[in-house]
């Protein structure tokens, strides 16, 4: 294994999880649970690869429709489903998932576990002879997975802490199809082969970063306000 490429591959995801961890300043999650979520996100690569290969075997499309199917169903749905499953099966059920910011934190950790393995595969093995792949994926692909994780965690938190059962179920569904749509659109722009569409790629990336930064900032503010209220009651 090329150690230099390995370091290049893992650095973006590690930087992002440290950034999101430090953002959770007021009621940080247990390190063991965060590490477990990250590792399970990485292990989710196994069922994801199996399901993606199965879905690809059913592909009957060509051209733009093939790109759409691969972007939204094969990659978007499968990857977001299993990253979300990690959260629902582990941190979501614990007592530590006790504020809205937690959904985003665990969402990013699960997403970065998957993104780390995916990036190693692309940078170290599949495109080892292309020096630009690590840079491109570090700027776009890995941060995009973080954005999908923020979106997923945002709606999972809305679902968990909403007293309106109908609205909670709606947000639970959104926690799957919203990151799937963002992910699918990201991939489709790159895979469609439509030059006019590729012009929208960078503006799209900037836009999804902007809207998800607002989600993150909102829940960081809520976390701080929650701690202040608790301290006042004491």
Low-confidence ranges of the chain (pLDDT < 70): 226-234
- In whole angstroms, what is the distance from residue 49 CA to residue 79 CA? 9
CA R_g for the chain: 18
What b/e readout covers 83-106, taking b as 16+ CB neighbours within 10 angstroms? bbbbbeebbbeeebbebbbbbbbb
Find the length of the chain. Answer: 234
Provide the residue range defining the domain that includes 20: 3-233
Question: Residues near 71 by Cβ (< 8 Å), separated by ≥ 6?
Answer: 183, 184, 185, 186, 187, 188, 191, 192
Rounded to the nearest angstrom, the gap between the alpha carbon of residue 120 and the centroid of all alpha carbons in its chain is 17
pLDDT of amino acid 131 = 73
pTM of the prediction? Answer: 0.93
- In whole angstroms, what is the distance from residue 224 CA to residue 155 CA? 19
Question: Residues near 78 by Cβ (< 8 Å), separated by ≥ 6?
Answer: 48, 51, 52, 55
pLDDT of amino acid 126 = 83
Inter-axis angle of helices 45-57 and 31-43, to 10 degrees?
Answer: 30
pLDDT of amino acid 183 = 98
**How many domains is the chain built from?**
1
pLDDT of amino acid 34 = 98
pLDDT of amino acid 203 = 95
């Amino acid at each position: 294994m090329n150690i230099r490429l390995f370091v290049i591959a893992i650095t973006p995801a590690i930087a992002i999880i440290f950034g999101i961890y430090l953002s959770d300043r007021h009621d940080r999650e247990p390190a063991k649970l965060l590490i477990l979520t990250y590792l399970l996100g990485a292990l989710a690569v196994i069922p994801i690869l199996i399901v993606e290969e199965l879905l690809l075997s059913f592909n009957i499309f060509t051209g733009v429709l093939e790109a759409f199917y691969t972007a939204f169903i094969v990659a978007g749905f499968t990857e977001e489903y299993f990253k979300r499953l990690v959260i629902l099966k582990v941190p979501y059920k614990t007592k530590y998932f006790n504020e809205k910011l937690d959904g985003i934190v665990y969402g990013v950790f699960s997403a970065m576990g998957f993104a780390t393995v995916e990036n190693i595969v692309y940078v170290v093995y599949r495109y080892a002879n292309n020096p630009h792949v690590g840079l491109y994926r570090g700027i776009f692909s890995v941060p995009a997975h973080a954005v999908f994780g923020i979106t997923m965690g945002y709606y999972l938190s809305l679902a968990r802490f909403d007293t309106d059962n109908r609205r909670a179920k709606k947000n639970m569904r959104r926690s799957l199809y919203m990151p799937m749509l963002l992910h699918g659109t990201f991939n489709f722009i790159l895979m469609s082969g439509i030059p006019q569409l590729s012009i929208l790629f960078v503006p799209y990336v900037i836009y999804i970063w902007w809207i998800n930064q607002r989600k993150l900032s909102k829940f960081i503010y809520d976390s701080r306000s929650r701690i202040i209220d608790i301290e006042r009651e004491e």
